[in-house]
Structure 1
Amino acid sequence: MRAIRRFPLLPAILFALPLLTACEQVGELLELPNPKKEAAQADAEGRAIGSACRHAGRSLEDCYVLNPGAQKAAVFAGWRDMNDYMMEHKLDVVPSQLPQVPPQPKAAPAQAAEAPAAARAAQH
């Protein structure tokens, strides 16, 4: 009992301690933005994209074009790290086994309407 009289704030601190340790979890539950976490995630994703591009034998410029939303510095860091790793361990690139399908250009709405009419006229 004497210890409580000497330290009147001790019960309050002990009560508040669990609440203060869960601040990050409360932020996640309330979906509060966390700039540090988002930046770290974007950096990790960029590095993964860069290393995957290098492993697949893609040039750095192609990687930038294929992933316009990724941070270029992170993509470059991942590409460079994978390049160093592959050179050190004498690994070859692993090309994609998926068939390369060129993207189809989208026709303008006026041209799209004219195309079926022209096809029907050609059949008759």
Structure 2
Amino acid sequence: MTKPSLAALLARLLLVAALPLAGGCDMLSELLEIPNPAREHAIKEAEGRAIGGACRHAGRSLEDCYTLNPTAEKASVFAGWRDMNDYMMEHKLDTVPSRLVPGAPPATSVKSPDTTPEAAKTAPAPAATH
């Protein structure tokens, strides 16, 4: 049995020492689809705070905010609402009321031109280019 060379032994030792460092890499964790409960909780917390702050800025009550966002964590929604309330009071900011009509269907992004036969009869014919 032959002994491994010093270079091979050093390379193996370096590889073993670097493994814990690679395990902490977020990109590696995402590639391997390793669940990270702390990161997922931080994302939900930040999203809840953003929702709460937006609700307060729009002048919505905390209860309305809970009703409109049932999947958000209530504690983080409250924290965001309270932070925005303190900020608005400190800087003497008014609320920005919502311009949405209650019960109205959501608007579509870009409407395509009407191509129904009735619209074709009333629409002017395109000009011919020569």
Distance 2:40 2:87 in 1: 27
Quote the Cα distance in structure 1 between the aligned partners of 2:13 and 2:98: 59
Amino acid at match of 1:38: E
Q: Does 1:37 align with 2:42?
A: no
Equivalent runs, 1:1-124 vs 2, <5 Å: 11-23=11-23, 24=25, 25-101=27-103
1-structure distance, mates of 2:17, 2:44:
32
1:57-108 deviation line (CA, Å, top 9, x unaligned): 00000000111100000000000000000000000000112222268xxxxx
Aligned residue pairs total 98
Query: Separation in 2 of the partners of 1:26 and 1:16?
Result: 17
- Which segments of structure 1 move beyond 4 Å, counting only runs of 4 or more? none
- The answer for the alignment partner of 1:112 in structure 2 is none
Q: Normalising by structure 2, report the TM-score.
A: 0.66
TM-score normalized with structure 1 length:
0.69
Distance 2:64 2:44 in 1: 19
Structure 1 residue runs of 5 or longer lacking an equivalent are 104-124
Identity percentage of aligned residues: 66
SS at match of 2:100: coil
CA deviation after TM superposition for structure 1 residue 30, in Å: 1.6
Q: Would you tell me which structure has more helix in proportion to its own residues?
A: 1
RMSD over equivalenced CA pairs, Å: 2.4
